[in-house]
Structure formats: C-alpha cells, structure tokens
Amino acid sequence: MALVLQYLNDMHEYMERYGDPRTNPWFLMSSPLPTLLICLSYVYLVKVIGPWYMQNRKPYDLTNLLIAYNFLQVIFSAWLFYEIGAAGWFTGRYNFHCQPVDHSKHPQTMRMVHACWWYYFSKFTEFFDTFFFILRKKFDHVSTLHVIHHGVMPMSVWFGVKFTPGGHSTFFGLLNTFVHIIMYSYYMLSAMGPHMRKYLWWKKYLTTLQMVQFVGIMVHAFQLLFIECNYPRAFVWWIGMHAVMFFFLFKEFYNQQYRKPKVRARSPQPEITEIPEMAYKNVSLKNGYTNGHANGAYVRARTVLPAGN
C-alpha cells in the first residue's frame, strides 16, 4: 500500500512539474486518474452492465432522442471547428509545417487552450453512441474495436491538453471536428426513419472523407520527423500512429462494405453459389467503427440454385 501511495505521489509531482500551468487547475486536469476511471467505467458499463440490463427487455425506441442528440453533436462539432480555426488555423498565426506550443496567456492563445479542453470533453459525449446501441439492443455494433476506440480517446486527448494544449497537434482536432459535422448530420438524417434513405446515398463518400482525414493527419504529423520543430516528438508519434491505425480500420471497412466480391464462374455441373446480398440497416458509423463505428449496411448470404432448378 505504501508503494502505491508513493507512486501516486510521484505521479502527482510529475504532473505538476511538467504539466501546462494554464490547464493544471482546470476540471479533470490535475491527474489522469479521474479520466482513466471514467474510461474504465465506460468499458465495464457497455460490455457487462448494459447487456445484462437489456437481456430480458425489449429494445427502446429512441428515435426522437437520437435526432436531438445527433443535432446537438452537429452544433457542438461546428462550434469546436470554428473555435480551433479562429484561434489559430484560420488566422495566419499557425504554420502548417511547424507550429510549436505557445505557452503565453495571450487572449488568442488562451482561446485555443480552451478549445482543446472542450475538445477533450467532446470525447465523453461520444460515449452516448455506444449507450444508444445498448439500449436499442444493437449488441453486434458494440465491437471490441469500437469500445477500445471510444475508451482510449479521452485518455489520449487528456495528455494533449495536459502537456501541449495548442500548437501542431490541434490540426487533428480541426479535421476531426469538421468530419464530425458531416458525420453526425448523416446520423441525424438516418435516425429520422426509412423515408430518409433516398437522401443518404453519400454514406460511401463519408467513409472516403474519413480516410482522407487520417491521411491528412498522418502527413501533417510525420513531417516533423524530417524537419526541425520545437514540438515534442512523442506527441508526433502518438498522433501519427493513431491516424495510421484508424486509416487501415476504415480501409478494411470500406473494402468490406463497398467492394463487390467477384463471383466464381459456373462449372458445367450444377452447384450452389453464395451471392452476397446487401440489406440496409439503420445504424451508425463513427471514426471507423467510431471518430469509428459500423455503418449502415451489413452482408447477408443467400443460397441461390442454378438456373433451371
């Protein structure tokens, strides 16, 4: 027990010494433990408590709640996108090749620091995507990758707000919030019902946009490995590798969802052929599974007998 207390004390001293003094006193910023506890509670809730609670209950009809939630997420994402841009990227103050963290208390700089903090909280609001899956008994959408993505992101962003609130890494937030504006707009329309399906033909391009986002983040982050810039290399690798991982997850999803499988040529003898049939399913796509979720269709095999039988 004494070793645990000593470890916690040493960690607290490290955070106080090397953490950004502007964000140290802010809510949830003094220690990583509250954020870690929230993330672990989220995982336990959606993998254990949620399925147990819903096992003998009918799925909830959350149509109106989903519409309202996705609308608020669109507004929140649009505000974050504007704030991150207006605090740096849209003003000419930020350099796309190298942008060190400004540790001053200049009003424009503090605007970016606050935007980073609110972006951190946006990762908690995204937990509700999973909660709604559970309440609608869409357990197949609560995959391990989905849960890991949502469970890890608040902790990842916490380190950015704690040590580097501003600078080069905020480009990630700029692109991510822009994609979320479009993504949650899609979810909102999808939640309105089947009559909106004819307006959702662009879901394929939403997936493409998400992959382009990760390529942009990769290029923007990894360029600092080849040029001199007063920005921590650890965060360059952290952000870049996140983008690499999510790009390949989205690419795999894209291949499964939109690339038509090749049908084998018929042999002279009668045989049974499996032909994939796409059936629409009104669910979400988030950052890949979440920021990547499962998307609005799934594959169901149908047995087809040879012609003439």
| Angle formed by the axes of helices 170-191 and 107-125, nearest 10° | 40
> What is the spatial distance between Cα 4 and Cα 134, in angstroms, rounded to a whole number?
36
Nearest to 157 by CA among 284, 74, 242, 250: 242
Side chain identity, residue 2 = A
Q: Does 168 qualify as catalytic in the annotation?
A: no
Q: Which of 97, 103, 106, 149 is catalytic?
A: 149
Helices (H), the chain: 2-18, 33-44, 50-54, 63-84, 107-125, 127-135, 144-163, 170-191, 203-222, 233-258
**How far from the centroid of its chain's Cα atoms is residue 259's Cα?**
23
Catalytic positions, written as ranges: 149
